[in-house]
Amino acid sequence: MKIDEQKCIGCLECIDYCPVGAIKEGQNSAYIEQDECVECGVCLKVEACSSEALYQPKLEWPRILRAQFSDPRVVHPTTMVYGRGTDETKTNEITNRYPRGYIGIAAELGRPCVATRLKDVEKVARAILPLQVEFEQDNPTYHLFEDVKIGKMREDVLNERVLSAILEFRMPVEKAPQVLQALRKVAGEIETVMSIDIGARLESDGSNPAADVARKAGYEIRPNGKTNLGLGRPAAEGKGIGR
Amino acid sequence: MTHTNHRLGERADLNHDYVVFMYAAKGFNDKDVGLKLQKFMKMGYVYQPVNAGPARTGDRFMVEPEKLPERITRSSSAYIVYDNREKAEALVKDLVKADMGISVVVSGLFDEVNNICEKAGIKSHTAMCSLGIWGKTGLLPEDSEILGIATMCGHSMIGFNLIKRMAYDVETDRISLEKASQILARPCSCGIFNPERAKDLLRRYNERKTIRAPIK
């Protein structure tokens, strides 16, 4: 995003709308710090400028990634899906993405409202992927990696800044504590925050294996979260995308 | 993998925050799902949501509510936000009866959602929990109300600065609480932001700040 300084009247009304603080006060007008801007488009979407000084230039690779990962109205060309993640647990009764015996863990870097460089996403991936978890291929983050076995991301995207990016993994229940431990360790090495999710298909008695694993490993579970009611038409047993 | 999963807050105020959404599974039942999503929206509007939205086509504060159902034909998901669990329960019961075959997810307090399922005569299938925020948490504001408001947009489109400014503008009578909550809702493209809860949090934030102010 950019500001046409000829049109800007210097009212600075736009500054507070930027979720990452990339709009700054210049000498006679506001300007956008291009290295900080994540191309989320919020300022333009909410019409934060009354003099129509905000404008969106055409974005080229790799900067286009900023919009794809930050603006939920932009579709990811690699997955043809809006947003930053997958259906994950939301459609599990149909996709069987997490069958019994498996746990899903996700780390969303940059959330809430801190943003992240992709190099921090790589740092977390390098800590987790060698543990031989299944890296979610339908997540757009997957397509940024040159070598998913070791978590090596392509060099030309590492400095791109996005509002958030999600690493999604699936693993057998018994591997989850090791993954959580590795996430906890690498959390101390990144320059941003990350919101952590853990999910699973519920047992027939209603218990949640994901919550049980996390509690046993000493992690606090928030009292609220997402519950899939199971109203989707289920795939036949053993079918779906679950491997 | 997250979206409505990290809505921070205390139990008491989270009980005024339930998101019910219908979500088609890509490659399984997303083809021509628009009519079912429209039906979902119409059913949800019966119980007076505080916000609603199909992804990307705006939210209640940018699109007139009556136009929303017609605008979701290109979407694969739709969202309804309520400020109490009874409304969520009523919609879930209706959805169970309607049996549309599309996934339905409720974001809210787990025990209350389980209770809703029991009353609707169903067993929930899968759950996603939040383990909170890790990493450089010193970059976050200390005020729980600011975080509570910011995390109601799952895509982080509502920044801390905007929330603080709205709190200040309300405190100094520049705008009403109602107007501030609507301004905060606008950046959220999915319409999952709960402006009623935002009003409570803004009010509490301003009251607490007043209490903390030095006595002269």
Q: What are the structural domain ranges in chain A?
A: 83-216
The answer as to whether B2 is a domain residue is: no
pLDDT band at B213 (very low <50, low <70, confident <90, very high): very low
Span A187-216, average pLDDT = 96
Residues of A in contact with B95 (CB under 8 A): 229, 231
**Same domain flag for B67 and B145:** no
Cα separation, A37 vs A98, in Å, equals 36
**Same domain flag for B156 and B64:** no
**Could you tell me if B20 lies within 8 Å of chain A, comparing CB atoms?**
no
Contact B125 A92 (CB under 8 A): yes
The answer as to whether B49 is a domain residue is: yes
Tell me if A161 sits within 8 A of A36, measured CB to CB.
yes
Instruction: Locate the chain A residue with the closest alpha carbon to B99.
Output: A231
**Same domain flag for B101 and B183:** no
Which one of B120, B154, B187 terminates a domain? B120
**Same domain flag for B148 and B190:** yes
pLDDT band at A238 (very low <50, low <70, confident <90, very high): very low
Tell me if B197 sits within 8 A of B17, measured CB to CB.
yes
Span B185-192, average pLDDT = 89
The answer as to whether B125 is a domain residue is: no
Span A13-27, average pLDDT = 96
Please tell me the total count of domains within chain B: 2
The answer as to whether B192 is a domain residue is: yes
Span B10-26, average pLDDT = 94
Residues of A in contact with B114 (CB under 8 A): 206, 227
Q: Which of B25, B102, B136 sits opposite A192 (nearest CB)?
A: B136
The answer as to whether B83 is a domain residue is: yes
pLDDT band at B60 (very low <50, low <70, confident <90, very high): low
The answer as to whether B38 is a domain residue is: yes
Model confidence at B50: pLDDT above 50: yes
Cα separation, B180 vs B173, in Å, equals 11
Which one of B120, B148, B172 terminates a domain? B120
pLDDT score for B108: 98
Domain A83-216 has CATH 2.60.40: no
User: Looking up tokens 């543990």, which residue turns up?
Assistant: A131
What is the distance in angstroms between the Cα of B216 and the nearest Cα belonging to chain A?
A: 31
The answer as to whether B5 is a domain residue is: no
What is the distance in angstroms between the Cα of A170 and the nearest Cα belonging to chain B?
A: 12
pLDDT band at A76 (very low <50, low <70, confident <90, very high): confident
Q: Which of B109, B126, B135 sits opposite A223 (nearest CB)?
A: B109
Exposure on the CB side of residue A170, measured as CA atoms within 13 A? 22
Residue of B126, B144, B145, B188 to mutate when probing chain A, most A C-beta within 10 A: B126
**Same domain flag for B52 and B85:** yes
Residues of A in contact with B21 (CB under 8 A): 90
Cα separation, B92 vs A85, in Å, equals 25
Cα separation, A117 vs A98, in Å, equals 29
Residues of B in contact with A87 (CB under 8 A): 23, 25-26
**Could you tell me if A209 lies within 8 Å of chain B, comparing CB atoms?**
no
DSSP letter (8 states) at residue B99 = -
The answer as to whether B65 is a domain residue is: yes
Q: Which of B9, B28, B111 sits opposite A95 (nearest CB)?
A: B28
Q: What is the pTM of this model?
A: 0.93
Domain that holds residue B195: 137-212
Span A13-24, average pLDDT = 96
Contact A228 B130 (CB under 8 A): no
Which helix H or strand E contains A169, and what residues bound it? strand A165-172
Model confidence at A208: pLDDT above 90: yes
Model confidence at B38: pLDDT above 80: yes
pLDDT score for B69: 63
Model confidence at A131: pLDDT above 60: yes
**Could you tell me if A229 lies within 8 Å of chain B, comparing CB atoms?**
yes
